[in-house]
A and B are shown apart, each in its own frame.
Chain A
Amino acid sequence: MANLELIDLRKSYDKLEVIHGINLQVTDGEFCVLVGPSGCGKSTLLRMIAGLEAISEGSIIIDGKKVNNISAANRGLAMVFQSYALYPHMSVRQNLAFGLENLKMKKNEIEERIQQAAKLLRMEEYLKRRPGQLSGGQRQRVAIGRAIVREPSIYLFDEPLSNLDAELRVATRVELKALHERLGNTMIYVTHDQVEAMTMADKIVVLNEGLIEQVGAPLELYNKPANEFVAGFIGSPRMNFFDIDMLPESIKQLAPNHASRLGVRPEHFDLKGKIILPLKVNNVEQLGSDSFLYGKTNKGQKISIKLNNQTQIKAEDDIIASFSLENSHWFNNSGIRI
C-alpha cells in the first residue's frame, strides 16, 4: 500500500531531454494509467519509477520517502514487462520463486505464495512447464503472477496486453481490473490504447512529448478535455476540429471571445438538432449497429459523423448535420479549451 509522488521529474539522454518536468500524485490503491502517443516517454517514466533508469533531475517519493538513490531491488515495486521477460531456462514455478529466493524467504512461505498466485491466475497445471511451452496468454499470466507473489507496494505495467490478440486482450483487461479490485494495490499502467485507459483507470495521465497534458478521471477527460491534444487523443474516432473562419455565419455567432477552433465529437452529431452544418458525404461505412459518414463541409473542412443506427444516406449525398452547444468545445489560439 503506497502513495507515489513525482516532483519535477526530468530525464535526459546525453544532451537530449525526453521528460520535461513531471509532477504527479498517485494515491494509495489507485489505478493510474499513463497514455500518450508512441515515443512520448511513458516507458521511460515508468522505468524511472521502477529504478531501472537513472533520474536526471527531480525526485520520486514513495510513502513520503525519497527513493531516488534506492536501487530497483530495494524499492519494493514489481514490474510486468511488455515482452514479459520470463526467464526462459526456468520453469514457471522457478520464475515465480526467483524473486522470493532473492529476498531470502523461507521455502514453505515461497511455496504458499506460489500456490496462492497460481490459484488466483488459474495456472496450477503449468507450474512445471518452461515459458517456451506456454501460449502468449499463459505467459502473460505468469508475468503478472511473478509480480503478485512479490506482494509489492506498487505494480508497474508496461503495455502488458499489447502482444495479445484482440479477444484475449479484452478478457485479460477485465481480469486485471478485477485483480486490482481484489488486491487493492496501487497500480501504474502504461498503454497507448485509449480503450484500455478508459475502461481500467481510476485516473488517466495523458502524456505528450515528455509533458503531462491532463490528469483526471476517464469521463472527466472525455467530457472536459483541457486542450485540443487531449480532446483529440481521447475518443475514437477523433473529435472533429473546425477553424472558426471556415464555419457558416450562424455558428460563428455562437463562438465565445478568443475562440479560434470548434471541436465536436463524431458521436455528438445527429440529423435533427438545432445548430446545422451542411456537408457533402464522400464515404459511408455501415457497421450494423453504427454508421460512419465521412465528408466535407462547404468550405472543404473534413468531418466524420457517427450515427448509432443504420442509414439510407449514400456517398455523394448532400445532407445537413446538426449538433448541440453543450456537446461542443471551443478552443483558443493556443489550443486551450474555453
Chain B
Amino acid sequence: MSAVIKFFTRTQGHNKINFVDWISYGYLILGFFIIFLPVFWLLLNSVKSQFLLQKLDTNILPMDYERVARATVFGPEGKEIFILKDLPDWVLYWNDLTEDEKLQHDQTSFLKKYNGKEYYVLRTHFGLVSNYAKELILNKKLPDWLIRYPSMFPDAKKEYEPTIFFKDLNSEEVRLLSEFLGIKPYKPNGFTSQILVSAINADTNEVEEYSVNRLNTNKATINARLISNPQGGIVKIPSEQIMVNKTLRPSWINYTDPLTNNVRGMSFNAIKCLNNSVFVTIVATIITVLINSMAAFALSKYRFNGQIIFFIIILATLMVPASVLIVGIFKMVAVTGLAGTLWGVIIPGAATPTGVFMLRQYMLTIPDELLEAARMDAASEWSIYWRIVFPLALPAIAVLGILSIIWRWNDLILPMIAVSTTKAAYTIQLCLLDFQGEYVAQEHYRLAMTVVSLIPTTLVFVFLQRYITTGIATTGMK
C-alpha cells in the first residue's frame, strides 16, 4: 500500500512539488477522467433499474426513492387508509407496465402471499376482481346478467336485484361480487405509489416517516401522511424539513436475467451471443496468427521470384478502405456457402495485411544464421518455422494476437455481412445492436450486456498490455 502511495506521489527529482508536477498530475487526472467518465457512466447506468432508465434519471448512482403504496380499502367499516411497504417495483408500477411486461410476472401467485385488506387492495390493483368474480358466477351457476350488470345503464340496473343471491354466499364471496358489481358499502379499492420521506413530527418532536405523493421542492409545504398513523389525514410539512429516503439500489437483474436466459419475450439469447463471440474471437485469432506469421516467414526469409510483387500487393490492400470491400465479401461469403455460419465471419478476415507487414518487419531482424544453423541441424522448413522463427517472433505475434482479439470481439461489419440473417450465429455486437427488443424496451439489459461485452477486451488489455508496449516498441508499429 505504501508503495502505491509512493508511486502516485512521486515528484520530479526533488522532494518539493513544483509547477511541473502540478501540470503533470493535472494532465494525468484530466486525461483519466476524459477517458474513463463515459465508462463510469456506462457502468453505473447499467445497474439502474428499468424504471429509472425510462425516467431518464440523471443521478450518478443508481439511487432510487424508497417507495411505498398508499392503499384505500372500502368496506362495511367505511374507508380505511393504510400503507403497504416493501413491494417490488413491478407491483408498484403495475398499471404502467405494457401487456408484454405484465406477462413476465406472475401476479396471481404474488397475490396469494397476502390476505385481508392487503389482499383486497392488491386484487383490485392487479385488475383481478372481474376475473375472479366471473369465475365465481360461473362456479355458483348464478345468472349471466350478473356479468353484464356493471356495464348497464342505471335505468336498466333498476330491473335487477343482485343482492338476492348473497344469502347463498360466504362473506368473502359477497365482498368479491360486491366489489365487482359496485354495490355499497363496497367500491373499487385505491392504490397509489408514494415516496417515503422523513420529517419531524410537529406533535411529538420526533423524526418519523411520512409518505408523500410527489416531491416538489418549489412549494413551501408538502402534503404528507404519517406512516405510523395513515388514517390521521394529511399534514402540511415545510419543504425544507423533508428528508428524502434515497437508497442505493443496484438492479443486478439487468445482468442476471439475460445471463441466465431468464427474460421472457426477449428477442435473443445473450449466452449464445457471447459463446459465438468467444468462438469467433479465439478461432479467428489462432488462424490469423498462423496464416500471417507463415506468410511473413516466407516473405522475410525466402528468396523467390515475384517476392517484391507479392509484398507490394499485400501492402496495397492496406490502402483499400474496408467499406469498399463489403459487397465483395458478401458475395464471396454467399457463393462459398459460408453465409449464416460463424466460419463466414472467421475466414474472410483471417489474413490481414497489417499483420503480415508487422510480422515480416519483425522477422527480418531474426538473423539468417539462426535458420542456417537449424538447416545444418537437419531441421525441416516446417520445424524451422515452428521451433525457431515463431518463438523468436513471439513479441510481434503477441501484439498481433492482442490486436486480433480486440478487432474480432468489437467487429460489427463482418458479422453483419455474414450472419445477419441467422439469429443463431449472432455475435455479441450484433446482439447489442438488435437489442431494441421487438415489443419491450430493454435498454437496461442492453446497457448491462454492453458492459459484459467490454470485459474480455479489458482483461486482454490488463494482462497483456506488457506485450503490446514491448512489442510496439520493438516492431515500431501500432
Contacts and interface: CB of A to CB of B under 8 A. Distances in A.
B375 A52 contact: yes
A193 to B, nearest CB: 21
A37 to B, nearest CB: 22
B378 A85 contact: no
B373 A85 contact: yes
B378 A73 contact: yes
B369 A85 contact: yes
A102 B380 contact: yes
B376 A50 contact: yes
A280 to B, nearest CB: 51
Contact of A89 (B369, B375, B383, B391): B391
A73 B375 contact: yes
A102 B383 contact: yes
Contacts of B367: 83, 85
B373 to A, nearest CB: 4
A137 interface: no
A146 B377 contact: yes
Bin the interface of chain B by size: 10 to 19
A102 B376 contact: no
Given A81-B369, A102-B383, A87 B388 contact: yes
B374 interface: yes
Contact of A52 (B370, B372, B378, B379): B372
B372 A74 contact: no
A99 B392 contact: no
9 contacts: A52-B375, A72-B372, A72-B375, A72-B376, A81-B372, A87-B370, A88-B392, A89-B392, A102-B377
B377 A98 contact: yes
B376 A74 contact: no
A192 interface: no
B378 A77 contact: no
A103 interface: yes
A81 B377 CA distance: 12
A326 to B, nearest CB: 47
A303 B387 CA distance: 58
A122 B166 CA distance: 112
Interface string B49-81: 000000000000000000000000000000000
Given A87-B388, A89-B391, A98-B387, A78 B369 contact: no
Q: What 6 pairs between A and B have smallest CB-CB spacing?
A: A99-B377, A85-B373, A73-B378, A85-B369, A102-B378, A72-B375
A81 B141 CA distance: 107
Contacts of A89: 391-392
A98 B379 contact: yes
A86 B380 CA distance: 17
Bin the interface of chain A by size: 20 to 34
Given A52-B375, A78-B376, A83 B369 contact: yes
A100 to B, nearest CB: 8
Contacts of B380: 73, 102
Interface in B325-366: none
A83 B373 CA distance: 11
A150 B374 CA distance: 12
Contacts of B374: 87, 98
Contacts of A51: 375
Given A50-B372, A73-B377, A74-B378, 6 more contacts: A52-B375, A72-B372, A79-B372, A87-B373, A98-B377, A103-B378
A311 to B, nearest CB: 48
A79 B373 contact: yes
A118 B192 CA distance: 89
Nearest to A98: B377
B373 A81 contact: yes
Contacts of B379: 73, 98-99, 102
Contacts of B378: 73-74, 99, 102-103
Nearest to B388: A87
Interface string A23-55: 000000000000000000000000100111000
Contacts of A85: 367, 369-370, 372-373
Interface string A59-73: 000000000000111
Given A83-B369, A85-B370, A150 B375 contact: no
A51 B376 CA distance: 8
Interface in A80-106: 81, 83, 85-89, 98-99, 102-103
A150 B377 contact: yes
Contacts of A99: 376-379
A72 B383 CA distance: 15
B376 A52 contact: yes
A52 B374 CA distance: 11
B352 to A, nearest CB: 25
A181 to B, nearest CB: 24
Nearest to A89: B391
B370 A79 contact: no
Contacts of A47: 372
Contacts of A72: 372, 375-376
Nearest to A147: B376
A106 B369 CA distance: 27
B392 to A, nearest CB: 6
A87 B378 CA distance: 14
A78 B378 CA distance: 10
Nearest to B375: A72
Contacts of A98: 374, 377, 379, 387
Nearest to B369: A85
A78 B370 CA distance: 14
Nearest to B394: A89
Contacts of B372: 47, 50, 52, 72, 79, 81, 85
A208 to B, nearest CB: 25
A52 B377 CA distance: 12
A200 B369 CA distance: 26
A85 B371 CA distance: 9
A129 B293 CA distance: 28
A81 B374 CA distance: 12
Nearest to A103: B378
Contacts of A150: 377
Given A85-B369, A85-B370, A87-B370, A79 B376 contact: yes
B371 to A, nearest CB: 9
A157 B134 CA distance: 105
A86 B369 CA distance: 9
A150 B375 CA distance: 13
A192 B183 CA distance: 121
A102 B387 CA distance: 11
Contacts of B373: 79, 81, 85-87, 146
